[in-house]
Chains A and B, each alone.
Chain A
């Protein structure tokens, strides 16, 4: 009896392990990113629920099977956001035939001014495959908290601009956070790390 139980336990344990392997895409020899930060031990952005420009609800699992690269910004941003989007478009070019695997996701921090139409036209000007997500100001605030993304409105005259974190977050094809890419990295450096991640998942 005890013998049987322990055997069962072992089989169950193996099953759980097997599932873990399937679910997590474990790297055989560790993830060795040259430029970005390994985020495998961090849990960020697991439960966001936002809408895309067509009004579809999108969660992290919507991007299952692709390598989503998520970052935050606003369309009235003169510098960091167009630079990050232009870099993402260039990364896709550098990735060549693997480019289709990368899903660029831009989340607005200015949902009051960035209508779905403006957002859609804006990100698609950089690459037609890019997705933009928005939500209510409360939803965006919750998502930013979830990603530990800092942002704040800065009043300028009778309007405002926004200061915000500029990091891009990359998940593997099983929706596990893997990599963060700083704003100062160039497209070639980012591409190298993204290809490293693709090797495992």
Chain B
């Protein structure tokens, strides 16, 4: 299930926490990344994942070679009305798993260059900014799931609204 937990970096972070002579690295791990497949001529789709930062950070940008424009959106339910808006960044509090799933924040790949097919992988570059304003690029290969895939990612700490 989890595809890129970056165990080595996690290990380093753990060492840092244990007081070893390492600088406190701001690291963010990505798990359960996936992209929803599209039908031909469909120009946009969503990308989903769970992000966990070791220090207070922010997701400030996403890029992908498959789409002209990549944006971060937030979906909210106001009664029966589904509201959608673009957001500039997502807060990633230290140690908290933040879920980007169809029920809240998610990444929108807009202006797709070609059909996104199930079984392929979509490269994503996440830009994470730590509390000091230092930016870091994070590469993710997100597998493409079927169009009809269940909306939820595997994040355990994420409370789904029902």
Contact = CB atoms under 8 A, between A and B. Distances in A.
B120 to A, nearest CB: 16
B103 interface: yes
Interface string A154-197: 10111101111111000000000000001110000000000000
Contacts, number: 105
Contact of B39 (A118, A156, A183, A184): A118
Contacts of A117: 40-41
B145 to A, nearest CB: 11
B73 interface: yes
B81 interface: yes
B41 A118 contact: yes
A122 B39 contact: yes
Interface stretch (A26-34, A79-87, A134-142): A79-87
A176 to B, nearest CB: 22
Nearest to B77: A183
Interface stretch (B6-14, B25-33, B129-137, B147-155): B147-155
Interface stretch (B15-23, B42-50, B57-65, B91-99): B42-50
Contacts of B86: 154, 156-157, 161
Given A79-B82, A79-B102, A126 B147 contact: yes
Interface string A117-131: 110011001100000
Nearest to A73: B82
B69 to A, nearest CB: 6
A89 interface: yes
Nearest to A180: B80
Contact of B148 (A89, A115, A164, A167): A89
Contacts of B44: 76, 78
A199 B46 CA distance: 39
Contacts of A121: 39-42
A86 B145 CA distance: 14
Given A79-B82, A79-B102, A117-B41, A161 B150 contact: no
A78 B75 contact: yes
A89 B71 CA distance: 29
B147 A163 contact: no
Nearest to A182: B80
Contacts of B39: 75, 118, 121-122, 125
A154 B161 CA distance: 23
Contacts of B42: 75-76, 118, 121-122
B111 A79 contact: no
Given A78-B75, A83-B151, 16 more contacts: A76-B42, A76-B45, A78-B102, A78-B108, A79-B75, A79-B102, A80-B102, A82-B36, A82-B147, A86-B148, A86-B151, A121-B39, A121-B40, A154-B84, A164-B82, A184-B162
Interface of B: 36, 39-46, 69, 71, 73, 75, 77, 80-86, 102-103, 106, 108, 110-111, 146-151, 161-162
23 contacts: A76-B42, A78-B44, A78-B108, A79-B46, A80-B102, A82-B147, A82-B151, A86-B150, A86-B151, A115-B41, A118-B39, A122-B39, A122-B42, A154-B85, A154-B86, A156-B71, A156-B108, A156-B110, A161-B73, A163-B82, A164-B81, A165-B82, A184-B162
